[in-house]
Amino acid sequence: MIKQILGKIPRKPSKSSHGNSDGEGGFNDGFSLNSSSNTLLKSNSVSSKSSSSGSVGSRSGNESIAQHYTNQAKKSASIPGSIMASTVYEALPSFRDVPSSEKQNLFIRKLNMCCVVFDFNDPAKHLKEKDVKRQTLLELVDYVSSVNSKFNESAMLEMTKMVATNLFRALPSSNHDGKLADISEPDEEEPVLEPAWPHLQIVYEFLFRFVASPETDAKLAKRYIDHSFVLKLLDLFDSEDQRERDYLKTILHRIYGKFMVHRPFIRKAINNIFYLFIFETEKHSGIAELLEILGSIINGFALPLKAEHKLFLVRALIPLHKPKCVSLYHQQLSYCITQFVEKDVKLADTVVRGLLKYWPITNSAKEVMFLGELEEVLEATQPAEFQRCVIPLFRRIGRCLNSLHFQVAERALFLWNNDHIRNLILQNSKVILPIIFPALEKNIPGHWNQAVQSLTLNVRKIFSDADQAVFDECLMRFQEEEIKNREKLEKRESIWKQLEDVAAANVVSNEAILVSRFVSSVAITTSANQLATAGG
């Protein structure tokens, strides 16, 4: 009987139960803030030992948090009944309220306190605890900004641990799966916002201040902001929250500038993201931000360019024109491409041929973007490189001049408004004019848009004023070709008329109609020539 009564009394947990670690550690891994729970989960039983400097050591995972919370958990766990999280998660003293000798210790304790990760999917849950953490994070940001002594290794360890605990997470499945490739008006998409942003923003600000701080020794910090840390930061670029990607862009750029040892690795990791995006998924939210970082990096490349950098242009940047969603990042991509041409003019031919390789055939809006980028590239192109690609380039421009989409034709004609490009064209008019002359002549009477007709007349006049002899020669050749084409068309129509007459005469009989080999071959040849002429 006595044993039954004693069995109902809550027992105080043994010390051994609090001293066992499951190897994971960290409040965010198993700490429960559910008020309906009668006991704290096992993560509260993880022991932590405080060093003389106040830092907390651990060998795995997120590591254990400060002794303050462990002691509080031990006290609270002995209380029977429901335990509120607020009895454990309480604000620590302000930095202003402790002597200078204790600030380092308090800093470590606050970092460990912020390793608790809250669920923001329920906005009404744990409001007090969330506010306590937010205020603590703001204090940490102020401390990192105002510190006037070098961060030691224990502080760096705890700082990177806190950042990793809060930031590195599995991103939710993106809403743009299956849709991103078809986006033509990205501004119409509703922005996706991260629910935990009130805390994440301050953690990002903390990381930025830590990386940018003159008190952060890169030689020591590289042990904690290592390749694994950088890769996890890069993974977060796929976040759909624009605010998060903006912070990541700024922070990664700072890391690239401060940690020279990581630069080749960062470039290679970005390459791999591009390869996966181009050749497999065509889905990624952060391509524009990564390209913006690369634009700054490319701008700082030393001359002459390394073979590695040229390969990056050919294998990653130029193929980025292939995905259907290129409009989402085309401005940043165009800047990177132009930077390469300005760095090394010999790359102009490679870039132009790359653009022609991925030129859109059925997407007029994309074609207008390509023409805009082409103008920027040609503006940085020198005569020698221009001559190497002039024939395939103006075959494509000739087709654009005849486009029924007036914006495509108009954008192509605007190339002659650029002084540098116009000079390049006129220097090579003997090669270029014969290629595009038929397109110009057909536009004047045949294009439906008046603005295109007017621009075509202006371009035609530029050529005639520059070299009348070449212009007259092209005009004569065009007129001769037109006469030949009309004769072929009349001949073909005559042959078909003969066939129709023969068919009509033998319509009542069952006899086969014989057509001479000569007539058949002429008809086939004429059709083929007509198609070739129409194709440009």
DSSP 343-377: H-GGGHHHHHHHHHHT--SS-HHHHHHHHHHHHHH
Residues 492 and 527 sit within 8 Å (Cβ to Cβ): yes
Residue 376 lies in a domain: no
Q: Which amino acid is at 341?
A: V
Residue 248 lies in a domain: no
Lowest mean pLDDT: which of 13-27, 110-124, 155-169, 320-334?
13-27
Contacts of 4 (CB under 8 A, 6+ apart): none
C-beta neighbour count of 55 within 10 angstroms: 22
Q: Which amino acid is at 522?
A: V
Mean predicted confidence (pLDDT) in 46-70: 35
- The yes-or-no verdict on residue 523 having pLDDT over 60 is no
C-beta neighbour count of 76 within 10 angstroms: 16
Q: What is the pLDDT of residue 529?
A: 54
pTM across the whole model:
0.74
Residue 50 phi, psi dihedral angles, 5° rounding: -95, 130
Q: What is the pLDDT of residue 46?
A: 31
Residues 382 and 424 sit within 8 Å (Cβ to Cβ): no
Mean predicted confidence (pLDDT) in 145-154: 91
Lowest mean pLDDT: which of 13-17, 270-274, 356-360, 464-468?
13-17
- The yes-or-no verdict on residue 196 having pLDDT over 60 is yes
- The yes-or-no verdict on residue 47 having pLDDT over 90 is no
Query: What pLDDT digit, counting tens, does each position of 370-388 carry?
Result: 999 999 999 999 999 999 9
Residue 493 lies in a domain: yes
Rounded Cα–Cα distance for residues 84 and 72 (Å): 12
- The yes-or-no verdict on residue 396 having pLDDT over 80 is yes
Number of domains in the chain: 1
Q: What is the pLDDT of residue 89?
A: 74
Question: Which secondary-structure segment (H or E) carries 447?
Answer: none
Query: What pLDDT digit, counting tens, does each position of 237-295 carry?
Result: 999 999 999 999 999 999 999 999 999 999 999 999 999 999 998 999 999 999 999 99
Query: What pLDDT digit, counting tens, does each position of 12-33 carry?
Result: 333 333 333 333 333 333 333 3
| Crossing angle between the packed helical segments 100-113 and 127-146, to the nearest 10 degrees | 140
Query: What pLDDT digit, counting tens, does each position of 406-437 carry?
Result: 999 999 999 999 999 999 999 999 999 999 99
Residues 427 and 383 sit within 8 Å (Cβ to Cβ): yes
Residue 70 lies in a domain: no
Mean predicted confidence (pLDDT) in 143-160: 92
Cis peptide before 304 (omega within 30 of 0): yes
Residue environment code for 170-194, b if the CB has 16+ CB neighbours within 10 A, otherwise e: eeeebebeeebeeeeeeeeeeeeeb
Query: What pLDDT digit, counting tens, does each position of 477-522 carry?
Result: 988 888 898 889 999 999 998 888 888 877 666 666 565 555 455 4
- The yes-or-no verdict on residue 41 having pLDDT over 60 is no
Residue 241 lies in a domain: no
- The yes-or-no verdict on residue 44 having pLDDT over 70 is no
Written as one string, the DSSP assignment of 491-533 is HHHHHHHHHHHHHHHTTTS-PPPP--HHHHHHHHHHHHHHHHH
Rounded Cα–Cα distance for residues 427 and 448 (Å): 31
Q: What is the pLDDT of residue 521?
A: 52
Domain that holds residue 512: 480-534
Mean predicted confidence (pLDDT) in 356-369: 94
Q: Which of 251, 249, 162, 244 is nearest to 211 (CA)?
A: 251
Mapped onto helix, strand or coil, the DSSP state of residue 235 is helix
Q: CA 250 → CA 151, 223, 237, 292, 530, distances in Å? A: 22, 21, 12, 10, 57
In percent, the amount of the chain with pLDDT more than 90 equals: 60
Answer with the residue of higher pLDDT: 49 or 471.
471
**If pLDDT is split at 50, 70 and 90, which confidence band does 60 have?**
very low
Q: What is the pLDDT of residue 504?
A: 80
Lowest mean pLDDT: which of 60-69, 338-347, 440-449, 486-495?
60-69
Q: What is the pLDDT of residue 239?
A: 94
Residue 491 lies in a domain: yes
- The yes-or-no verdict on residue 532 having pLDDT over 80 is no
Residues 280 and 241 sit within 8 Å (Cβ to Cβ): no
Residues 433 and 463 sit within 8 Å (Cβ to Cβ): yes
Answer with the residue of higher pLDDT: 520 or 135.
135
Residue 198 lies in a domain: no
What token pair was written down for 416? 């002659």
DSSP 427: H
